[in-house]
Structure 1
Amino acid sequence: MDDETGRNRAVVAAYVAAMNAGDFAAMRALFTEDAEIQGVTGVGGLDFALGVWRQLHDGLGMELTVEEMAAEGACVAVRYTERGRWTGPFMARGEPTGRSYALVAMEWFELRDGRIARRWGARDAAAQARQLGFRPEDGGKTA
């Protein structure tokens, strides 16, 4: 593994640690100012994504476990097991059920000058909805 690849893996590992801790200031420092974030809820900048990530952390107690990480140069891909329990407000989905969930999630990162410039995320939101008991009549989105 070359130095750039190792450094980029470390940045993504720091992102995962900050996400799990709910340390959004640390997360902000890991991204470029013009970062592009793409996920289940859409595409936007870091402020857009942080709003979604706060709800995942605060409402669902989301925690990511890295199952595999692959990196080459400026690109890092991660496969996770995502777990949580619905205890607080989340995406206008009605009252929390207290139920737990586990699902597969993946992220692809492109880094520039030691910071995350682009991030794509994919997660099994349908499995999350089933496990947590989201009701269609409550509206809202999944993350």
Structure 2
Amino acid sequence: MTVASKEQVVRDVIDAYVDAMNRGDIERLRQIFAPDCEIQGVTGTGAFEFAASIWRQLHGALNMKLVIEDCVVEKDRAAVRFRETGRWTAPFLDFDAPTGNSYELVAMEWFEIGNNQVQKRWGARDAAAQARQLGFPVAAGPVKSKEGAA
């Protein structure tokens, strides 16, 4: 495989990830991620199932959407800067009084791709700005879990 075609495969995987994430399609995300993937986010590090539980909440309660602002691909890795938006319309984590407020923030994610799947994903976003914009009663802290991340 040439470098250009390998980089195109990585970009195709990233585009599929964004499409599935924006639709809240957990089953499609499961196909995009390797069975033994490692996902690291603001809530910790873990396997697909823990991340999927947070992603379900992000869609069901915060109506999250991602737009790629920048994407840099080199060999089997990608760094992506997103504009993330949403609106709080249902209970989320321990917060059960949705304000209806919307949010917009910058999110950054890094990916390692192998065998046409995400092997590792690291994510960082300004959760404090999100909490302020949405009107969470207190700043959201990390979710405690033995298994992992989001």
- The normalised TM-score by structure 1 is 0.94
For the 8 Å contact 1:93–1:135, the answer to whether it is kept is yes
Match of 1:83 among 76, 82, 85: 85
Structure 2 alignment gaps of length 5 or more: 144-149
Aligned to 1:40: 42
1:140, distance to aligned residue in structure 2 (A): 6.2
In the alignment, does 2:91 pair up with 1:92?
no
Runs of 4+ in 1 over 2 A off after TM superposition: 138-143
1:18 aligned counterpart, secondary structure: helix
- Amino-acid identity (%): 52
2:99 aligned counterpart, secondary structure: coil
Structure 1 segment 40-119 matched on structure 2, within 5 A: 40-119=42-121
1:135, distance to aligned residue in structure 2 (A): 1.2
Number of equivalenced pairs: 142
1:37 aligned counterpart, secondary structure: strand
More relative contact order, 1 or 2 (CA 8 Å, 6+ apart): 2
1:94, distance to aligned residue in structure 2 (A): 2.7
For the 8 Å contact 1:91–1:141, the answer to whether it is kept is no
1:129 aligned counterpart, secondary structure: helix
1:101, distance to aligned residue in structure 2 (A): 0.4
Q: 1-side partners of 2:61 and 2:105: how far apart? A: 16
2:124 aligned counterpart, secondary structure: strand
Q: 1-side partners of 2:15 and 2:91: how far apart? A: 27
